[in-house]
Amino acid sequence: MITTADKGNSVVILPIQQYNTKIQNFIDKHNFQTSAVNPTKTFQNQIRKTINHSTTLITQNSKWKFINLNPSAPTIKGLIKPHKPNQPVHPIVNWCNAPAYKLSKHFALKINLPHYHTHSI
């Protein structure tokens, strides 16, 4: 596997099995809960119901903008930290396809979060 390093502008090359082990070790170390069932569809239905019942925060004409039409569970990617012992991973989670991503981005702008960054929610 060829990936970028966490710091600097360098490239890291390592076997895929080693990369997968590093990701799994990170997940195990931080006590993430796993599920046998993908809750994305259920969560998407709850988001749709909430948006449809909203009368004051979201206008009738713009409700379609906040529904992710093809939602998926967030994915994790790890950047290797070659400058640290045992070269752990720095996790990067892609939330862009999550069911509530567009809605949370809208509310973050609406309530003027002081540390809002245009590339993350």
Q: With respect to residue 49, please indicate whether it lies within any of the assigned structural domains.
A: yes
Q: With respect to residue 59, please indicate whether it lies within any of the assigned structural domains.
A: yes
Q: With respect to residue 118, please indicate whether it lies within any of the assigned structural domains.
A: no
pLDDT at 119 over 80: no
pLDDT at 41 over 60: yes
Q: Which helix (H) or strand (E) holds 89?
A: strand 89-94
Q: With respect to residue 74, please indicate whether it lies within any of the assigned structural domains.
A: yes
Buried b (16+ CB within 10 A) or exposed e, 55-68: eeebeeeeeeebeb
Beta bridge partners of 13: 2
State how far the Cα of 109 lies from the Cα of 58, in Å rounded to an integer. Answer: 13
What is the three-class DSSP state of 70? Answer: coil
Segment 72-98, tens digit of pLDDT: 888 888 888 888 888 888 888 888 889
pLDDT tier, 115 (very low <50, low <70, confident <90, very high otherwise): low
Predicted local confidence at residue 102, as pLDDT: 87
Predicted local confidence at residue 18, as pLDDT: 92
Q: What is the mean pLDDT of residues 14-18?
A: 92
Which range of residues forms the domain containing residue 84?
2-110
Segment 95-111, tens digit of pLDDT: 888 998 888 888 877 77
| Higher pLDDT, residue 114 or 15 | 15
Q: What is the mean pLDDT of residues 27-44?
A: 88
Q: With respect to residue 120, please indicate whether it lies within any of the assigned structural domains.
A: no
Report the predicted TM-score, pTM, of the whole model to 2 decimal places: 0.68
Q: With respect to residue 39, please indicate whether it lies within any of the assigned structural domains.
A: yes
CB-CB contact of 41 with 73 (8 Å): no
**Considering its fold, how many domains does the chain have in total?**
1
Which pairs with CB-CB distance under 8 Å and at least 24 residues apart come from 53-62?
57/107, 57/110, 58/106
Q: With respect to residue 8, please indicate whether it lies within any of the assigned structural domains.
A: yes
The number of angstroms, rounded, from the C-alpha of 49 to the middle of its chain's C-alpha atoms is: 22
Q: With respect to residue 76, please indicate whether it lies within any of the assigned structural domains.
A: yes
Segment 52-77, tens digit of pLDDT: 888 777 888 888 888 888 898 888 88
